[in-house]
Structure 1
Amino acid sequence: MKLAFIGLGNMGLPMARNLVKAGYEVYGINRSKGREESFAEFGGKVGLSLKELAQQADVIMTCLPMPADVEQMFLGPEGIVSNGRKGLTLIDFSTVSPDLCVKIATAAEQAGMNFLDAPVSGGTVGAEQATLSIMVGGSKPVFDQVLPILEKLGKNIYHVGEVGNGTVVKLLNQLMVGIHTQAASEAMTLADKMGLPKDMLHRILSNSFAQSRIYDRHYTQFVEKDTFQPGFALNLLHKDLVLVKKMADDIGAALPIGAHVEQLIDTAKTKGFGEKDMSAMYLYMNEKNEQ
């Protein structure tokens, strides 16, 4: 089986490497050719164009940062659907909107292809260790066919119904990630103001009802080490929260806390924190408290 993986970024590269490690023939494509070189050094294959892969691959997977990138990759004139062969299976690991997933799936079906939306959660550590959670929407028979591939990428794999449902679940996850990020950031900055050591606070709260995986991640991997190189950039979290807000607006659902957190993160972006890890909301809150 010939696989293609498009988007060898912080998530995509370790995911594609895990497929190579599992023994699959995997071709990689990335905007930055340096990433392709890194993939080739690990045993991945490069050098084929998107059109060539669309005609030769059995499964094409994408992991791209922005919805516009995903739409162009699948539906653009030079994209996969226009140039792919019948019977091709398409899996998108990106976080976009449910509407875009349905749009791509409809075009793919008309071209004789299969499409699954399969956004992931677990960050770069999960991508590297193949422990991701993967939420898959689409045909159950197609899901069953590609499950052995997904099992090389994650430990928690869920079929959640029709196309778009995987993305709905992922956006709900991101809503809670954003709220937990803000809650942890406010707690840590308030602890600073009150003169409490953050390591002591973490030990106590990690054994209390305030415990969360986001708090643990942000503190142990970033705040404690005072390094904020992005595992998941604040810009991307904001993009996801904008998608959440639109999804809620489209069905008339209120998100009083989520909408406020989206605005706070948007402001943090304008203050220069967008390229840092999402845990840098702690830095933004510190700066805000000093004003």
Structure 2
Amino acid sequence: MKIGFIGLGVMGARMVKRFLEAGHEVFVFNRTPEKAEFLVKLGALRAKDIPSLAEQSDVVCSCLSMPEDSIKVFLDGVIPHAKSGTICLDFSTVGVDTSRIIYQKAREKGIDYLDTPVSGGPEGVENGTLTIMVGGEKEAYERVRSLLNSLGEKIEYLGGTGSGSIAKLINQYLVAVHSIAASEAMVAGAAFGLDSEQLYKLLKLSYGQSRMLERHMEQYVLDRNFEPGGAVKYVHKDVKLANQLFEQAGLTETLGKLAENSFSQAMSIGLSDLDMSAVIKPLEDKSGVVVKK
């Protein structure tokens, strides 16, 4: 199976590596060409542009930063040039409307489009343990299920177009809200003189435990290392989209609004490109404390 892959960032590059290890022929394109170098050395084939990548591929994958990137890549580059029967997989986190727009344009050309956002981070790709949430035509999903199995441990088909995006945005809502709750709790503890590491170990064994508390404290905050796994700006984008989704469900007074504001504040003081756990920094500034070992 010939695979085309667009977007070679933290997640995309690792996905390509796994496809290569599984024996697939992979064409790659990234708007920053340098990011493709090590993948070419591993056996990937560099495409000169998106149209040529689409023409040569049976499956076209993308892992992009913003919804507008997905719209442009698929509507301007992939769909006009891909052959009928091609399946498109968008691993990006986008709004439901974005998924449905691309799906409709793809179907008009006899092309399948699946929204296939993922959860699990870079380590999940490397270990093949991602959770992949799939929306779209089930027949198309069945055709690429083995391909998705090379990336993920939990592959869940959820229903029609947009279903995968809905599930992922709900997940990201919880990521954002739990991140703020964990940050506020740890800052409050430090403000009252508790040892941060001792408090974290206690919470980890209590009902207040959460995956975000564990991730942020063990990998980033306590060691004061905020090199990104998932950046502040991307979580802000995700929770903003999730809040729009929740409003459509009739939920207007939500914790997600507070989380969106907190991530926005972190961005306003220059933390956009740091790991999402850096959202704790403005809270520390307010209380005059630092959560650390």
Structure 1 and Structure 2 fold alike (TM over 0.5): yes
1:45 aligns with 2:23: no
**Unmatched tracts of structure 2, length 5 or more:** none
Equivalent pair of 2:231/2:274 in contact (CA under 8 Å): yes
Three-state SS of the structure 1 residue aligned to 2:69 is helix
Within 5 Å, give how 1:96-107 maps onto structure 2. Answer: 96-107=94-105
Q: Which residue of 1 aligns with 2:55?
A: 55
Matched residues in 1 for 2:216 and 2:253: separation? 24
Distance in structure 1 (CA, Å) of the matches to 2:142 and 2:271: 41
Number of matched residues?
Answer: 289
Q: Deviations over 1:149-205 (max 9, x none)?
A: 101111111000001000000000011000100011111111211222222122211
Name the residue aligned to 1:270. Answer: 268
1:12-23 to structure 2, matched below 5 A, reads 12-23=12-23
Contact 2:90–2:114 (CA<8 Å) still a contact in 1? yes
1:89 and 1:113 in contact (8 A); partners too = yes
Matched to 1:208, the amino acid is S
Query: Where does 1:28-39 land on structure 2 (aligned, <5 Å)?
Result: 28-39=28-39
1:217-242 CA deviation, whole Å, 9 max, x = no partner?
A: 11111012211011000000000111
Q: Distance in 2 between matches of 1:250 and 1:113?
A: 29
d(CA) in 1 for partners of 2:267, 2:9: 21
Counterpart contact for 2:28–2:53, Cα < 8 Å = no
How many angstroms does 1:3 deviate by?
Answer: 0.4
Alignment match, 2:79? 81
Secondary structure, counterpart of 1:106 in structure 2: helix
Q: Separation in 2 of the partners of 1:47 and 1:81?
A: 16
Match of 1:188 in 2: 186
Corresponding residue SS for 2:154: strand
Per-residue displacement from partner, 1:23-59 (whole Å, max 9, x unpaired)? 1111111111111102112222213432122112100
User: Residue type matched to 1:235 in 2?
Assistant: K
Contact 1:27/1:48 (8 A) holds in 2: no
| Structure 2 Cα separation of the partners of residues 185 and 159 of structure 1 | 33
Indicate if the aligned counterparts of 1:2 and 1:58 stay in contact, CA closer than 8 A.
Answer: yes
Q: What amino acid is aligned across from residue 5 of structure 1 in structure 2?
A: F
Task: Establish whether residue 284 from structure 1 lines up as the match of residue 282 from structure 2.
Answer: yes
TM-superposed CA distance for 1:248, in Å, is 2.3
Structure 1 residue ranges without an equivalent (≥5): none
Q: Are the equivalent residues in 1 in contact too, given 2:191–2:288 (CA < 8 A)?
A: no
RMSD between superposed Cα atoms in Å: 1.3
- The answer to whether the Cα contact below 8 Å between 2:100 and 2:161 also exists between their aligned partners in 1 is yes
TM-score, reference length from structure 1: 0.96
Counterpart position of 1:146 = 144
Q: After superposition, where does 1:1-291 map in structure 2 within 5 Å? A: 1-76=1-76, 79-290=77-288
C-alpha change, 1:150 and 1:235, in structure 2 (3 Å) is: same
Give the distance between the partners of 1:187 and 1:87, measured in 2 at CA.
51
Residues of 2 paired with 1:141 and 1:82: CA distance?
22
Give the Cα separation in 2 of the matches to 1:18 and 1:102: 28
1:128 Cα offset (Å): 2.0
Aligned partners of 2:213, 2:126: CA distance in 1, in Å? Answer: 21
Query: Following the alignment from structure 1 to structure 2, what is the Cα–Cα distance between the partners of residues 249 and 166?
Result: 18
1:225 partner letter:
D
SS of equivalent to 1:275 = coil
For 2:43 and 2:199, the matched residues in 1 are separated by 44
